[in-house]
Amino acid sequence: MKACILAVGSEMLTPFRVDTNSLFITELLNTIGYDVRLKAVVADDLDELAGVISGALAWADLLVLTGGLGPTEDDLTRDAVARVLGVPLDVDERIVDRIRERFARRGMAMPDINRRQGMVPRGAEVLENPNGTAPGLWIQRDKIAIVLLPGPPREMKPMFEAVVRDRLAPHSGTAGLFRRVLKITGRTESDVDAQAQPIYAKWITRRVPISTTILAVLGQIELHLTTAAPSQAEADAALDEAVRELQDALGHAIYSTDGKGLEAVVGDLLRARHMTIAVAESCSGGLLASRLTDVPGSSDYVERGLVTYSNRSKTELLGVREALIAEHGAVSEPVAEAMARAVRERAGTNVGVGITGIAGPGGGTPEKPVGTVCIAVVVDGDERVRTFPFFGGREMVKFQSTQAAMNMLRLMLLKT
Amino acid sequence: MKACILAVGSEMLTPFRVDTNSLFITELLNTIGYDVRLKAVVADDLDELAGVISGALAWADLLVLTGGLGPTEDDLTRDAVARVLGVPLDVDERIVDRIRERFARRGMAMPDINRRQGMVPRGAEVLENPNGTAPGLWIQRDKIAIVLLPGPPREMKPMFEAVVRDRLAPHSGTAGLFRRVLKITGRTESDVDAQAQPIYAKWITRRVPISTTILAVLGQIELHLTTAAPSQAEADAALDEAVRELQDALGHAIYSTDGKGLEAVVGDLLRARHMTIAVAESCSGGLLASRLTDVPGSSDYVERGLVTYSNRSKTELLGVREALIAEHGAVSEPVAEAMARAVRERAGTNVGVGITGIAGPGGGTPEKPVGTVCIAVVVDGDERVRTFPFFGGREMVKFQSTQAAMNMLRLMLLKT
């Protein structure tokens, strides 16, 4: 089954935006055996949009459009689809009523232009949008399905999940694509690939062949394992075996085999050990606390965080002695250790983390260039401290600092 | 002049890859007056690729293809272009010689398959590739230019820069595209559009016409103003006037007209007033401190941040009385105010911010559902506190909290 994904909106054709909706849509479609053969971004222009839609209908089994369902004159997806199918647009008063209620719940009157969002090409079925005003639409045209979804990801995603579950998957009947994502941190891409490549190269000729892609993102390497199998059970058996082979070779460098982020993995380890954590951050500026608390339920183990950005705050909040800072510099292993120990002791937690470094662009010296970050982790009686040479701009240094701190903690927790 | 950008390669149609080459190409094209009307990612399939190319040639003045120029059977861009144009593929022995030399310089023999990279549609001119084996190709077909470039960005970018400089810019003779981005927070999209649309609707018929796109992203509305003008000076004059008209209507709701983020705008306001800031966060978990410290030089005004996640830490670090929490609940305006006042007083800063709320997914009640967030801001003698009903998941509630807190602070600072 061939699918085409179209993102509608002139703002998506500027140098500032990429269409990431299509990645999510592709992933779901692959699991039910659809092959995405074309994706495109089209301007807010009725003729051009109609031209692309009509081209896709010549070969696609499924056409997914995102965006262009808002209330303004620019929002032309409904109009273009109606024109290509040669059907009129009707106002569905039930949709208008629902949008009006949505505004009313926030104590607001619905602006008149929002009536446009109630217009549907005749014959279309409405797809509920729990997170916004624009409803989606489903149109079946002979054997071709056309799905219209709003552009904002938080609206689009649950709606497309429902479309796959309720409308596409039950009729797909084909083999799906199944994936595993292994996440690795603390190693370089070439280093990981030199070790993994001789292993995964053999998988491609197996009875259930597995193809492997290696992907380096900031502070992390991912190995994507993909297999086409007639059933979830056969895919699982093949993928489980493959994951085991890589784990035997790479050991604890693999922190996740189920898509979980590092902050969730660390959270699970803390929770399983009934441990609590407090962090003291300088250059990472609160990003470690923020990432740890991105995990639902993290209030069970995150006790507090201190962003000791000024030297004064390091002394007042953590009792880091001015003499220690004067002797070693604020960016030093002794100061990182003092921060980790003090925040742990004062918070009464099992774990304390201290991060101090130079995020840049200013503040670097020949001995301590921008990107130099000292990280200390204390877990009950155990303590580790390291100095890292991170690369890139300010936000990249901040992110790598939090990644390294969580990985140090993870490796220490695995030994307890 | 209308341009179409096609990225060729099945690997670009997986859930793991986005086409970022097109952003670079778009930016360069815009400066010489080309408008990108369509971009697409196409699979390594001769029929499908030929179909898309032939569709684009019906309307585009310029077609830029990236990828599919490698030596393998999968690399079909040359073949598809030749087929659509109805010309044969010839082997250009000078290209083959150059590839052979490239291998020789690394002490390697050229594999036979690399001869494929010497095949060119008859009538094409060769574009040098200083960073790889695959040469680019330039084909002029009546008024339409077709450019074939390799996919790897480090090969593609210098080649496309040369194409623009040497071949496209000298003949463009047209105006460039110039842009302004206005950023707005604290208002809804339809509300902003109802006020802005009557203003920007008139611009399209001006001597230097300006087109406007409205874009809602989480916690923020953007108005993108685009104009084609013969010179930077004329564009600036037209855009400055347009920005002024919107500022007159929308006032302080517009926080940025030069692309700056809210954290940088707030930072500028603090710096200009020689003010310092300390923040106390509960539900936002350090994200406010992290966003404030994303700005280079923010150590000049960010003194400290406290992530008082547990009630105990609120009492120990901020002296928030247990009785106050018991009476009003941890998520309440009195607690937010107590946090803001205490962190400001203890840090000795001009500004104190307190954020407490329910980020979800757990912890909601009928009176205080998930998304309820209380924010207090104290600026020297002045104080504001508000309760917000944010929507969406945990990370969205966190982000909206920081956005709202910074906007409250911005509006207060503008009055000082």
User: Distance (Å) from the C-alpha of residue A250 to the closest C-alpha of chain B?
Assistant: 22
Question: Which residue's entry shows tokens 């979804």?
Answer: A149
pLDDT of A393 above 90: no
List chain B residues with CB under 8 Å of A302. Answer: 285, 307, 309-310
Q: What is the pTM of this model?
A: 0.78
- For position A407, what pLDDT does the model report? 98
pLDDT of B173 above 70: no
Locate the chain A residue with the closest alpha carbon to B283.
A293
Overall average pLDDT of the B141-156 stretch: 92
Find the CB nearest A30 among B15, B279, B310.
B15
Question: Nearest Cα to A376, choosing from A350, A356, A353?
Answer: A353
Q: State how far the alpha carbon of A282 is from the alpha carbons of A220, A315, A326, A396, in Å.
A: 22, 12, 16, 15
Find the CB nearest A18 among B16, B23, B224.
B23
Contact predicate A7/A22, CB 8 Å: yes
* Residue B161 φ then ψ, to 5°: -60, -40
What is the spatial distance between Cα A249 and Cα B23, in angstroms, rounded to a whole number?
A: 39
Question: In chain B, what are the domain boundaries?
Answer: 2-172, 176-256, 262-414
Q: Do B23 and A16 touch (CB under 8 A)?
A: yes
Provide the token pair at A61.
């089994």
Locate the chain A residue with the closest alpha carbon to B302.
A309
Find the CB nearest A313 among B188, B288, B304.
B304
Q: Do A290 and B290 touch (CB under 8 A)?
A: yes
Residue of B306, B372, B395 for testing the chain A interface, max A β-carbons within 10 Å: B306
- Beta-ladder partners of A304: A278
Region of poorest pLDDT, from A378-387, A403-412, B54-63, B108-117: B108-117
Residues B387/B390/B395/B399 CA torsion (nearest 10 deg): -60
Find the CB nearest B296 among A14, A44, A394.
A394
pLDDT of A82 above 80: yes
Overall average pLDDT of the A351-363 stretch: 95
- For position A174, what pLDDT does the model report? 61
pLDDT of B208 above 90: no
What is the spatial distance between Cα A236 and Cα A239, in angstroms, rounded to a whole number?
A: 5
Under the banding of pLDDT at 50, 70 and 90, the label for residue B344 is very high
To the nearest 10 degrees (0 to 180), the angle between helices A21-31 and A153-163 is 10
User: Distance (Å) from the C-alpha of residue B94 to the closest C-alpha of chain A?
Assistant: 34
pLDDT of B177 above 80: no
User: Distance (Å) from the C-alpha of residue A152 to the closest C-alpha of chain B?
Assistant: 7
Neighbours of B241 (CB within 10 A): 13
Locate the chain B residue with the closest alpha carbon to A302.
B309
List chain A residues with CB under 8 Å of B298. Answer: 285, 309
Find the CB nearest B190 among A48, A113, A281.
A113
Find the CB nearest B36 among A13, A298, A308.
A13
Classify domain A176-256 by CATH architecture. 2-Layer Sandwich (3.30)
Dihedral sign, CA of B192, B195, B201, B207? negative
Q: Do A303 and B309 touch (CB under 8 A)?
A: yes
pLDDT of A173 above 70: no
Interface confidence, given as ipTM, is 0.78
* Residue A139 φ then ψ, to 5°: -130, 125
Provide the token pair at A65.
């459009």
Provide the token pair at A77.
């997806």
Provide the token pair at A166.
């309720």
Residues B29/B33/B34/B35 CA torsion (nearest 10 deg): 110
What is the spatial distance between Cα A248 and Cα A242, in angstroms, rounded to a whole number?
A: 10
- Beta-ladder partners of B211: B226
Q: Do A70 and B189 touch (CB under 8 A)?
A: yes
List chain B residues with CB under 8 Å of A308. Answer: 304
One-letter amino acid for residue A63 of the chain: L
Phi-psi region of A286 (alpha: psi -120 to 50; beta: other; left: phi over 0): left
Q: What is the DSSP string of B127-170?
A: E--TTSS--EEEEEETTEEEEEE-SSHHHHHHHHHHHIIIIIHH
Locate the chain A residue with the closest alpha carbon to B389.
A106
Classify domain B262-414 by CATH architecture. Alpha-Beta Complex (3.90)
What is the spatial distance between Cα B288 and Cα A34, in angstroms, rounded to a whole number?
A: 42
User: Distance (Å) from the C-alpha of residue A196 to the closest C-alpha of chain B?
Assistant: 19
One-letter amino acid for residue B233 of the chain: A
Neighbours of A133 (CB within 10 A): 23
What is the spatial distance between Cα A145 and Cα B254, in angstroms, rounded to a whole number?
A: 42
Contact predicate A144/A132, CB 8 Å: no
Start-end of H helices in B273-393: 287-292, 311-318, 322-328, 333-347
User: Distance (Å) from the C-alpha of residue A226 to the closest C-alpha of chain B?
Assistant: 11
List chain B residues with CB under 8 Å of A298. Answer: 285, 309
Question: Nearest Cα to A385, choosing from A343, A307, A349, A332?
Answer: A332
Locate the chain A residue with the closest alpha carbon to B177.
A14
Q: Do A14 and B26 touch (CB under 8 A)?
A: yes
Overall average pLDDT of the B45-50 stretch: 92
- Beta-ladder partners of A146: A63, A139
Q: State how far the alpha carbon of A84 is from the alpha carbons of A63, A88, A177, A272, in Å.
A: 13, 10, 32, 57
Find the CB nearest B286 among A14, A42, A307.
A307
pLDDT of A26 above 80: yes
Q: What is the pLDDT of residues A260-278, one digit of tens each?
A: 999 999 999 999 999 999 9
Question: Nearest Cα to A19, choosing from B33, B379, B23, B18?
Answer: B18
Q: What is the pLDDT of residues A136-171, one digit of tens each?
A: 999 999 899 999 999 999 899 999 999 988 899 877
Q: What is the pLDDT of residues A289-340, one digit of tens each?
A: 999 999 999 999 999 999 999 999 999 999 999 999 999 999 999 999 999 9
Overall average pLDDT of the B144-153 stretch: 94
pLDDT of B239 above 90: yes
What is the spatial distance between Cα A290 and Cα A212, in angstroms, rounded to a whole number?
A: 33
What is the spatial distance between Cα B324 and Cα B189, in angstroms, rounded to a whole number?
A: 38
Q: Do A307 and B307 touch (CB under 8 A)?
A: yes
Q: What is the pLDDT of residues A89-106, one digit of tens each?
A: 999 999 999 889 888 887
Under the banding of pLDDT at 50, 70 and 90, the label for residue A123 is very high
Q: Do B294 and A398 touch (CB under 8 A)?
A: yes
Question: Nearest Cα to B48, choosing from A37, A42, A52, A41?
Answer: A37
User: Distance (Å) from the C-alpha of residue B186 to the closest C-alpha of chain A?
Assistant: 14
List chain B residues with CB under 8 Å of A305. Answer: 285-286, 305-307, 309
- For position A230, what pLDDT does the model report? 79
Contact predicate B325/B336, CB 8 Å: no
3-state secondary structure of A85: helix
What is the spatial distance between Cα A184 and Cα A262, in angstroms, rounded to a whole number?
A: 9
List chain B residues with CB under 8 Å of A279. Answer: 307
* Residue B126 φ then ψ, to 5°: -85, 135
Question: Nearest Cα to A201, choosing from A192, A212, A185, A215?
Answer: A212
Under the banding of pLDDT at 50, 70 and 90, the label for residue A175 is low
pLDDT of A189 above 80: no
Q: Do B394 and A41 touch (CB under 8 A)?
A: no
List chain B residues with CB under 8 Å of A2. Answer: none
Length of chain A, in residues: 416
Instruction: Kindly state the percentage of chain B with pLDDT values over 70.
Output: 99
Q: What share of chain A is helix, strand, coil (3-state, %, to 5)?
A: 45, 25, 30
> Judging by DSSP bridges, how do beta strands B382-389 and B372-379 pair with one another?
antiparallel
- For position A245, what pLDDT does the model report? 97
User: Distance (Å) from the C-alpha of residue A415 to the closest C-alpha of chain B?
Assistant: 27
Residue A191 DSSP one-character state: H
Q: Do A285 and B306 touch (CB under 8 A)?
A: no
Q: What is the DSSP string of A324-356?
A: HHHHH-SSSHHHHHHHHHHHHHHHT-SEEEEEE
- For position B16, what pLDDT does the model report? 76
- For position A21, what pLDDT does the model report? 94
Burial of A384 (0-12, 13-18, 19+ CB in 10 A): middle
Length of chain B, in residues: 416
Q: Do A310 and B317 touch (CB under 8 A)?
A: no
> Judging by DSSP bridges, how do beta strands A89-91 and A119-121 pair with one another?
antiparallel
Locate the chain A residue with the closest alpha carbon to B306.
A306
Locate the chain B residue with the closest alpha carbon to A68.
B215
- For position B317, what pLDDT does the model report? 96
Q: Do B313 and A347 touch (CB under 8 A)?
A: yes
- For position B260, what pLDDT does the model report? 92
The dotted CATH code for B2-172 is 3.40.980.10
What is the spatial distance between Cα B163 and Cα B70, in angstroms, rounded to a whole number?
A: 20
Q: Do A313 and B43 touch (CB under 8 A)?
A: no
Overall average pLDDT of the B204-216 stretch: 85
Question: Nearest Cα to A127, choosing from A162, A94, A154?
Answer: A162
Quote the mean pLDDT of chain B: 92
Q: Per DSSP, which regions of A206-350 are E strands?
A: 210-217, 220-229, 254-256, 277-281, 302-307
Q: Do A38 and B43 touch (CB under 8 A)?
A: yes
Overall average pLDDT of the B171-179 stretch: 74
3-state secondary structure of A9: coil
* Residue A321 φ then ψ, to 5°: -65, 135
Overall average pLDDT of the A187-196 stretch: 84
Neighbours of B362 (CB within 10 A): 11
User: Distance (Å) from the C-alpha of residue B42 to the closest C-alpha of chain A?
Assistant: 5
Quote the mean pLDDT of chain A: 92
What is the spatial distance between Cα B151 and Cα B131, in angstroms, rounded to a whole number?
A: 12
pLDDT of A177 above 80: no
Contact predicate B286/B307, CB 8 Å: yes
In chain B, DSSP finds a helix count (H) and a strand count (E) of 14, 17
List chain B residues with CB under 8 Å of A104. Answer: none
Overall average pLDDT of the B197-220 stretch: 87
Q: Do A41 and B38 touch (CB under 8 A)?
A: yes
pLDDT of B126 above 80: yes
Q: What is the pLDDT of residues B345-382, one digit of tens each?
A: 999 999 999 999 999 899 999 999 999 999 999 999 89
Find the CB nearest A310 among B18, B197, B303.
B303
Locate the chain B residue with the closest alpha carbon to A23.
B15
Dihedral sign, CA of A241, A243, A246, A251? negative
Region of poorest pLDDT, from A10-19, A44-53, A401-410: A10-19
